[in-house]
Amino acid sequence: MASEVFMTDMSANWNRSVPAKLFDLFNALEPSAVFDSKDLIAIKIHFGEAGNTAHIRPQFIRKIVEAIRSIGARPFLTDTNTLYVGSRTEAWSHLNTAYDNGFTRDVTGAPILIADGLRGSNSIEVPLENSRHLKLAHVASDIQQADGLVVISHFKGHELSGFGGAIKNVGMGCASRSGKLDQHSNISPVVKQKKCVGCGECVHWCRGAAIELIQHEKTKKAKINSEKCIGCAECILTCRRGAISIQWNESIPVFMEKMFEYAKAVLKNKSGKALFLNFLTDVSPLCDCTPFSDRSIVPSIGILASKDMVAIDSASANLVNSAPGNAMSCLKSALEPGADKFRALFPDIDWNHQIEYAEQLGLGSRDFELKLIP
C-alpha cells in the first residue's frame, strides 16, 4: 500500500506566503493525533556548518514550532555533535554556529538542546534485533528520551550515500559520536605521528584507557591500542592539533546499511510518534556539513511531509531526478528531466540501496502517493 506524501511548491503571492503553506502542509499530517499535550518533541534539524548557506531557513522552522505548540506540546530544536572536527564538533561551538545561522529562540520560537551533550558522549544504548551488522546502537540521549520526533531534512547530494534526506538525518544525525564512528569505520581512529606533539591530552580523556605515549625517535607520541578502543571518538575532538583522525575504511553499501540500522534504533521507541519533512530547496551537491554551499543542482522544487521516512525520501529522489538540471559541469550528463542527478554527482554510489534496505528493515515503503497542498 502506497504511503501518503504531501507536497507544497515554492510559489507564493500577496495572499499566501510559503511559511503559511508550510503551516498547512505540516497540519496535513494531523500532529494533534500523533503528539499529546505536554509531550517533549525533538525537532531534529541540521543547523548548517559555519559558512554554509544552503541549510533550511530558521523562519520556516518557526511555523513547525507554532503548529506543535498549538496542540500543547513542547518542542525543542536539536542536532548532535559531528564526528569530524569543524564548527559543530562539541556543544559550545555547535550552539554558537546555530545562533550565527539564525537559529535563536527569538526567530524559531523554541530552545536548542545538543542531544548528545557537551562532547558528544551522552547516549543511550538501544539493542537491535535481526540486523545485518549491528547488535547495539548509541542513540543521542535527548532524542531517545523525547516523547516524539519531527525530522526536518534539507534534501541534497551526499558524498557517501548519494543523497541525504530523512533516513540519513535520523540514522546518522541522531547518533552520538561513538554511534557515528560505528557507522563510518570498523576500526579505531589513528594518530598522525607528524602532527602529534606528545602532550598527553588524549591519554587523559580516553575513557577506554586505549591511548598511551610511546617513544618515537626523539620524542613521545600517542598510540591507540585498537583492542582496547571503545569507539567513543572523543580523542578526535580532544586533540587540538588535528593529529587523530577517523580511518574511513567502511565500504559504502555497509556504511549505508549501518546507517539504516541506526535509524531503526532511533525510531524503536517512537512508533507512531514521528513525522518527517523534506525541503527540496537549494538542493546542493554536498552535505550541509561543508563550510560552503555550491549552487543547486536543480531549481528549488518544494517541501514534502509524510509519516513514512522511506516514502518521503523515495518521493524526494524522484522529484529531483524528474526536474531539469542546472548547468553545472559535474552534471552535464544529467541536464534533462529524468536523468539521475545523484549518479551523475557520485557515479560509484547506488543511492537506491538507501530505499531498498530501509524498506527491508521495515522503516517504511518506497511506494508513495503524492498529494498537493496548494
CATH number for the domain running over 187-245 = 3.30.70.20
Q: State the pLDDT at residue 335.
A: 66
58-69 vs 18-27: helix crossing angle, rounded to 10:
40
| Rounded-to-integer distance, Cα 348 and Cα 342, Å | 10
Helix, strand, coil percentages for the chain (3-state, nearest 5): 30, 20, 45
Grid cell at residue 325: 538540471
Provide the phi-psi class of 319: left if phi over 0, else alpha when psi is between -120 and 50, else beta.
alpha
SS3 call for 5: strand
Alpha-carbon Rg for the chain in angstroms: 21
SS3 call for 124: strand
SS3 call for 202: helix
Provide the phi-psi class of 102: left if phi over 0, else alpha when psi is between -120 and 50, else beta.
left
Q: Where are the alpha helices (DSSP H) in the chain?
A: 18-27, 31-34, 58-69, 91-100, 105-108, 141-145, 166-171, 177-184, 201-205, 234-238, 252-266, 309-322, 341-345, 352-360
Q: State the pLDDT at residue 329.
A: 46
pTM: 0.89
Domain ranges of the chain: 3-183+250-372, 187-245
| Rounded-to-integer distance, Cα 9 and Cα 280, Å | 9
Length of the chain: 374
Q: Give 268's DSSP letter.
A: T
SS3 call for 93: helix
Main-chain phi, psi angles of 76, to 5 degrees: -140, 145
> Are the CB atoms for 137 and 114 separated by under 8 Å?
no
Question: For the residues of 302-340, what is the DSSP string, one character each?
Answer: EEEEES-HHHHHHHHHHHHHHSPPP--GGGGGG-STTS-
| Rounded-to-integer distance, Cα 267 and Cα 263, Å | 6
Q: State the pLDDT at residue 105.
A: 97
The amino acid at 99: Y
Q: State the pLDDT at residue 36.
A: 97
3-183+250-372 has which fold? Rossmann fold (3.40.50)
Q: State the pLDDT at residue 334.
A: 66
Question: Along the chain (374 residues), what's the average pLDDT of each consecutive run of 10 residues?
Answer: 95 95 97 98 97 95 97 98 90 97 98 97 94 95 98 93 95 94 84 94 89 90 89 82 82 89 97 97 91 90 98 97 75 71 88 91 95 95
Q: State the pLDDT at residue 330.
A: 54
